[in-house]
């Protein structure tokens, strides 16, 4: 009974996600669904990315949290097209949240749309939003066992980012174990290690983003 | 439609939780539902607690993760009554998970049952497991904005623990802002700050635990 219900919800979600995807294609924009734990650095990654790319690309952000507009306000300092969604008690964004946000977001002339999901490693994975890519984000302070404990996220992600490299001297974290768990789950995985606090690894992320964006635009 | 479905699921959950609670009462044990982000230190808190209390109290642990038996194995070094639940794609423990675990767990002579929920600040809050108390756990490296973004957890928690105090020198974290957000949401909140890595604040946690346990036993 419960499984059947969830399937109905997911089927409706997929229909709306397909409509979102069609709108993104028509507008010629590249859409990124950013998924990670609470506090892994998703908003900080987007702040940094906006500072680097805003001068030459048109970027919008949809950001989800249960409550508060704090992330939206942080991102609004670097971008004039930000929509904050408050999901209440819902632990993930669904395609209809994005659909509603698009009513407030003119897509014309946009190059990239970032969708920062609710901080959660689990349910955001199962809900297609219409994105081109899913980026999974972990951080050193969460421990090296998080990929092994969240296999669906690892398998679904087009890129995995490990943030807070600057904390490595102060916590127990085995980089090889982290990496090996990921590669066992997904041998083709792309992994980037960064420290947003120490401004380390940003160029590799921006390069990946630009390559993926061009690849999707040209359909290669 | 969706709301009605969720209400049905929750109603069934509440019935099973009530049955769990009745069994806990009959066995005279104190049950703790531990909720926190992935990597905030839930398993480490239980490892430390078991080391301190196992000599004089009989303790069991039920631990939930999507995948792997890693936490169960860690806890099994300090406790011979540990049940690991793998929830698959479910982002929280439900009362039936605990009910199933109880089939493998003799309750006779137990003083405390810890239930370590799936790492997630959201859905675990809404599912009663039959516990006596809910303990919410945050960590310094997640940032000081997590209570404000998770008001339901703050309101539902009998105790809030902030872990990883040892990382304060290395990250941006405003202790006053963290505290003030909690007290605005719940003026009567109990907050404990600890560093499990530096063995700091453990006594206050053990004292709280023993006081709550005695209070529930005597019904005062």
* E strand segments, B56-206: 59-65, 82-86, 112-116, 133-139, 159-163, 191-193
- Residues in chain A with CB shorter than 8 Å from the CB of B121 are 38, 119-120
Q: Per the CB < 8 Å rule, is B123 touching A118? A: no
B40-75 b/e (C-beta count within 10 Å ≥ 16 → b): bbbbbbbbbbbeebeeebbbbbbbbbbebebbbebb
Phi, psi of B81 (to 5 degrees): -120, 85
- Which candidate, B132, B85, B126, B131, places its Cα nearest to that of B105? B85
Phi, psi of B35 (to 5 degrees): -120, 130
Q: Per the CB < 8 Å rule, is B119 touching A149? A: yes
Residue A74 near residue A47 (C-beta atoms within 8 A): yes
Instruction: Report CA dihedral (B156, B158, B163, B169) to the nearest 10 degrees.
Output: 80
Q: Is the pLDDT score of A197 beyond 60?
A: yes
pLDDT of residue B3: 62
Q: Best of B39, B40, B71, B137 to disrupt the A interface by mutation (most A CBs within 10 Å)?
A: B39
- Report yes or no: B142 at the A interface, CB cutoff 8 Å: yes
pLDDT of residue A217: 80
pLDDT of residue B220: 58
The pLDDT of A123-128, averaged and rounded, is 97
pLDDT of residue B4: 67
Write the pLDDT tens digit of every residue in A199-217. Answer: 999 999 999 999 999 998 8
Q: Which two three-digit tokens encode residue A177?
A: 């174990």
User: What separation in angstroms does the CA of A153 have from each of A185, B2, B108?
Assistant: 10, 25, 39
pLDDT of residue A2: 56
- Residues in chain A with CB shorter than 8 Å from the CB of B145 are 68, 70
In angstroms, the CA A146 to CA A70 distance is 26
Residue A49 near residue A205 (C-beta atoms within 8 A): yes
Q: Is the pLDDT score of A9 beyond 90?
A: no
Q: Whole-number mean pLDDT of chain A?
A: 95
- The interface residues of chain B toward chain A in range 61-90, judged by CB-CB distance below 8 A, are 65-68, 70, 89-90
pLDDT of residue A137: 98
Q: Best of B44, B45, B117, B149 to disrupt the A interface by mutation (most A CBs within 10 Å)?
A: B149
Q: Per the CB < 8 Å rule, is B67 touching A151? A: yes
Instruction: Taking the CA atoms of A180, B42, B185 and B166 in sequence, report the sign of the dihedral they define.
Output: negative
Residue of B nearest to A5 (CA): B5
Q: Per the CB < 8 Å rule, is A151 touching B70? A: no
Q: Which two three-digit tokens encode residue B28?
A: 């005279």
Residue A39 has its nearest CB partner, among B120, B123, B141, at B141
- Degrees, nearest 5: CA angle B3-B100-B113: 100
pLDDT of residue A136: 98
In angstroms, the CA B113 to CA A211 distance is 51
Q: Best of B122, B123, B152, B169 to disrupt the A interface by mutation (most A CBs within 10 Å)?
A: B122
Write the pLDDT tens digit of every residue in A38-48. Answer: 999 999 999 99
Residue of B nearest to A185 (CA): B67
Q: How far from chain centre, in Å, is Cα A215? A: 18
220 residues of chain B, pLDDT tens digit each: 456 667 788 899 999 999 999 999 999 999 999 999 999 999 999 999 999 999 899 999 999 999 999 999 999 999 999 999 999 999 999 999 999 999 999 999 999 999 999 999 999 999 999 999 999 999 999 999 999 999 999 999 999 999 999 999 999 999 999 999 999 999 999 999 999 999 999 999 999 999 999 998 887 5
CB pairs under 8 A between A and B: 113
In angstroms, the CA A26 to CA B68 distance is 42
In angstroms, the CA A77 to CA A216 distance is 29
Q: Per the CB < 8 Å rule, is A149 touching B70? A: yes
Q: What is the 3-state secondary structure (H, E, C) of chain A?
A: CHHHHHHHHHHHHHHHHHHHHHHHHHHCCEEEEEEECCCCCHHHHHHHHHHHHCCCCCEEEEEEECCCCHHHHHHHCCCCCEEEEECCCCCCCCHHHHHHHHCCCCCCCCCEEEEECCCCCCHHHHCCCCCCEEEEEEEHHHCCCHHHHCHHHHHHCCEEEEECHHHHHHCCCCHHHHHHHHHHHCCCCCEEECECCCCECHHHHHHHHHHHHHHHHHCC
Residue B145 near residue B173 (C-beta atoms within 8 A): no
> For residue A72, what pLDDT band results from cuts at 50, 70 and 90?
very high
- Residues in chain B with CB shorter than 8 Å from the CB of A2 are 9
> For residue A25, what pLDDT band results from cuts at 50, 70 and 90?
very high
Residue of B nearest to A163 (CA): B141
Q: Best of B1, B9, B10, B38 to disrupt the A interface by mutation (most A CBs within 10 Å)?
A: B38
- Which candidate, A128, A103, A116, places its Cα nearest to that of A59? A116
Minimal C-alpha gap between B214 and chain A (Å): 33
Q: Per the CB < 8 Å rule, is A91 touching B120? A: yes
- Report yes or no: A123 at the B interface, CB cutoff 8 Å: yes
User: What separation in angstroms does the CA of B107 have from each of B55, B61, B78, B102, B130?
Assistant: 18, 11, 18, 8, 14
- Which candidate, A135, A195, A202, A205, places its Cα nearest to that of A168? A195
Whole-model pTM? Answer: 0.95
Instruction: Measure the N-to-C terminal CA separation of chain A; round to a whole number of Å.
Output: 42
In angstroms, the CA A212 to CA A162 distance is 19
- Report yes or no: B120 at the A interface, CB cutoff 8 Å: yes
Q: Which two three-digit tokens encode residue B93?
A: 């423990």
Residue A39 has its nearest CB partner, among B67, B143, B152, at B143
Q: Which two three-digit tokens encode residue A122?
A: 């689990």
- Report yes or no: B119 at the A interface, CB cutoff 8 Å: yes
- Report yes or no: B58 at the A interface, CB cutoff 8 Å: no
Residue of B nearest to A9 (CA): B2
The pLDDT of A167-180, averaged and rounded, is 98
């Amino acid at each position: 009974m419960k499984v059947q219900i969830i399937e109905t919800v997911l089927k409706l979600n997929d229909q709306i996600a397909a409509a979102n995807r069609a709108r993104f294609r028509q507008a010629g924009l590249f859409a990124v669904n950013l998924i990670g734990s609470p506090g892994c650095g998703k908003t900080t990654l987007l702040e940094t990315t906006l500072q680097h790319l805003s001068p030459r690309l048109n970027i919008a952000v949809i950001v989800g949290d249960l409550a508060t507009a704090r992330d939206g306000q942080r991102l609004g300092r670097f971008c004039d097209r930000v929509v904050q969604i408050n999901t209440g008690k819902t632990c993930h964004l669904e395609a209809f949240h994005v659909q509603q946000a698009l009513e407030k977001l003119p897509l014309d002339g946009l190059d990239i749309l970032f969708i920062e999901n609710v901080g959660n490693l689990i349910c955001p994975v199962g809900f297609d939003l219409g994105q081109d890519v899913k980026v999974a984000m972990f951080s050193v302070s969460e421990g090296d066992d998080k990929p092994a404990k969240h296999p669906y996220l690892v398998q679904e992600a087009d890129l995995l980012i490990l943030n807070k490299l600057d904390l490595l001297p102060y916590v127990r974290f085995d980089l090889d174990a982290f990496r090996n768990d990921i590669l066992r789950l997904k041998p083709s995985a792309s992994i980037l290690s960064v420290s947003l606090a120490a401004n380390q690894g940003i160029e590799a992320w921006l390069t990946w983003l630009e390559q993926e964006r061009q690849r999707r635009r040209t359909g290669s």
